[in-house]
Structure 1
């Protein structure tokens, strides 16, 4: 019997943090990823532009890339069609960007084909599979099991050889409040992917779209894009911090601003006193107190520790600045 290999929490904490290996800095790390979108939305244009950027060592949008060879399995296209697209994107020949319009399925040897390509092209950094439907195995009795097994097989190759593998897939027609639930197939796909990219727009024929990205090593973000002259252009990005801030009431943001501008390391007083000090008039003391408690984690992430206690004079609030920022829930922040 093979014994379990276990480590103590102390050993883990003492080890240096292993940073993600990025193929596209802060956007696409090593691993297996999904790019999902409706048919004909423009996923192939994005894949071609990304492949050209990595193979030529040029920024993708304004993200730095790690230059290397790229393999694009364009399994739904002819070479003639891909050639016409390339002409619209670049005039430069590139001998580090490889294309193939046929490949085995995962069940019938795709892993071995990619493994052999890695051996003969050791500088390979990025692999596109367009589309997942062309290589997936028959589902049988369990769609989840088949999806999970297929995607895990692709992830194993990516992890073993230090590659980013982007698998192009479709979204469902039915809308969902959680954009990640629109990815076609079972949760076996999304559950095994290292990151999920979902490209969507309000209506066909409109060039503007939103790319939502989330993953294990990738910070959640939304990128506003515009398709111009067959190329996706980055218009605006929204980070996880900005999403958090959208849900925070204005009166709490005023407290954060008040403390940031204050030269003192702490503040103490009643709820009413804080409303006046922070310029947060227009909210009742009961509502303001509730908001402070609800968003105490947000305030801590901005370097402010909130606490309250009942005294003979009434409820007293204490705000203390900490010596660290963005340390959500971290009790180790030193008070100033």
Structure 2
């Protein structure tokens, strides 16, 4: 008998104001903690793709041009033998790693698989991913009904959520073609409906090339063009640009100068855009960025909140140097360049903030022309030297 669950209510206010960590990708734009299904045409090379992905995560290398979050990976190769795995490994790499573990036999769903998955996490604390190749090997039933499909995949999703890892189920495409790749996944809609992410690998007609279609709840929808080159799948598209998450550094360096800000999200966004023109900011996501970086910004001496007065919502941000783990140093990569002085409006700073005295204001004489170039080069050299990086002296 199923244990009764007590219903629990959460208001929209609570949801929107609770700090929650930003989604962590294990493979950028592709794999994140949760339940994923990789479905592909027969003999297209699904297992080869999964083994290559597992190796990349285990070594912290890129996969299809995308960064990975290094950690342990468990590959449940339930249709393979040790001989087959050895052959495949030698074709994929000449440098094995202890971060990649193989399992050839596990229990089925409802008969011990759940405990097998938990044991993987207990054994490897930095576990990132478990691959189950294939889904049907861990199912007790071959009954293709919506209820059975949804229940089995939901069970595995619950375990992925519980353990904070990604689980990928290797599955098959149906023979019938469809303009919607997700409709090609063998079985009922219960399989894609219960999964967090879907990866559908299909051959292009009259071509050796293939398309990996990615969709789901937590990643952008993508069509990645790939080609099989021996044992490996290679990217045909231009690799995506690596975009570091600079928000904690941005808000820290901004508040390092201002100490306190009070104003609307659009006002904060406008000021940040002026100071950091190479970064992207969105008005309606400004407070969410603070919530999703809660631990980082608090460790840097930043506290924040929201107020509402006369129907107007404001964001309040404050900087306290004694809580700054960076030692009040500039953190943004481009902060070594001279900053443009900013003037503050009444909406920017709380009325309780003291006006700085003349002795608190520092004036920097900035040279012009060739002297400016030499001055900037010397500043950059000093910053690099602080990080232990030596460069040749600037020659004007």
Range of TM-score over shorter length? 0.5 to 0.7
Q: Which residue of 2 aligns with 1:223?
A: 224
Would the alpha carbon gap of residues 80 and 18 (structure 1) be closer, same or farther in structure 2, given more than 3 Å must change? same
How far the C-alpha of 1:208 sits from its partner, in A, is 1.1
Separation in 2, partners of 1:55, 1:17: 27
Preserved contact between residue 105 and residue 137 of structure 1 (Cα < 8 Å): yes
Could you list the runs of 5+ residues in structure 2 that have no partner in the other structure? 241-280, 286-396
Tell me whether 1:207 sits opposite 2:208 in the alignment.
Answer: yes
Tell me whether 1:61 sits opposite 2:60 in the alignment.
Answer: no
Q: Which residue of 2 aligns with 1:75?
A: 78
1:45 to 48, 53, 58: 48
- SS state of the match for residue 23, structure 1? coil
Separation in 2, partners of 1:212, 1:30: 19
Q: Which residue of 2 aligns with 1:279?
A: none
Separation in 2, partners of 1:237, 1:326: 31
Q: Which residue of 1 aligns with 2:186?
A: 184
Separation in 1, partners of 2:182, 2:283: 29
Separation in 2, partners of 1:325, 1:210: 35
Would the alpha carbon gap of residues 114 and 3 (structure 1) be closer, same or farther in structure 2, given more than 3 Å must change? closer
How far the C-alpha of 1:53 sits from its partner, in A, is 0.5
How far the C-alpha of 1:8 sits from its partner, in A, is 2.2
How far the C-alpha of 1:139 sits from its partner, in A, is 4.9
- SS state of the match for residue 237, structure 2? strand
How far the C-alpha of 1:102 sits from its partner, in A, is 1.4
How far the C-alpha of 1:228 sits from its partner, in A, is 0.8
TM-score by length of 2: 0.57
How far the C-alpha of 1:325 sits from its partner, in A, is 9.2
Q: Which residue of 1 aligns with 2:102?
A: 99
How far the C-alpha of 1:177 sits from its partner, in A, is 1.6
Tell me whether 1:4 sits opposite 2:7 in the alignment.
Answer: yes
Preserved contact between residue 36 and residue 197 of structure 2 (Cα < 8 Å): yes
Separation in 1, partners of 2:197, 2:232: 23
Tell me whether 1:144 sits opposite 2:146 in the alignment.
Answer: yes
**Which 4+ stretches in 1 moved above 6 angstroms?**
none
Preserved contact between residue 33 and residue 167 of structure 2 (Cα < 8 Å): yes
Separation in 1, partners of 2:138, 2:230: 31
Would the alpha carbon gap of residues 53 and 324 (structure 1) be closer, same or farther in structure 2, given more than 3 Å must change? closer
Preserved contact between residue 148 and residue 189 of structure 1 (Cα < 8 Å): yes
Would the alpha carbon gap of residues 238 and 59 (structure 1) be closer, same or farther in structure 2, given more than 3 Å must change? closer
Preserved contact between residue 222 and residue 238 of structure 1 (Cα < 8 Å): no
Q: 1:238-261 CA deviation, whole Å, 9 max, x = no partner?
A: 99xxxxxxxxxxxxxxxxxxxxxx
Separation in 2, partners of 1:195, 1:2: 27
Q: Which residue of 1 aligns with 2:33?
A: 30
Separation in 1, partners of 2:93, 2:5: 54
Separation in 2, partners of 1:209, 1:3: 47
Q: Compute the RMSD of aligned alpha carbons.
A: 2.3
- SS state of the match for residue 28, structure 1? coil
1:164 to 152, 163, 166: 166
Separation in 1, partners of 2:21, 2:120: 28
Q: Which residue of 1 aligns with 2:316?
A: none
Preserved contact between residue 33 and residue 164 of structure 2 (Cα < 8 Å): yes
Would the alpha carbon gap of residues 127 and 9 (structure 1) be closer, same or farther in structure 2, given more than 3 Å must change? same
Q: Which residue of 2 aligns with 1:252?
A: none
Preserved contact between residue 109 and residue 138 of structure 2 (Cα < 8 Å): yes
Separation in 2, partners of 1:2, 1:221: 37
Preserved contact between residue 35 and residue 198 of structure 1 (Cα < 8 Å): yes
Q: Who wins on radius of gyration, i.e. which is larger?
A: 2
Bigger Cα displacement from structure 2, 53-62 vs 43-52: 53-62
- SS state of the match for residue 236, structure 1? coil
From the two aligned structures, give the one with the greater strand fraction.
Answer: 1
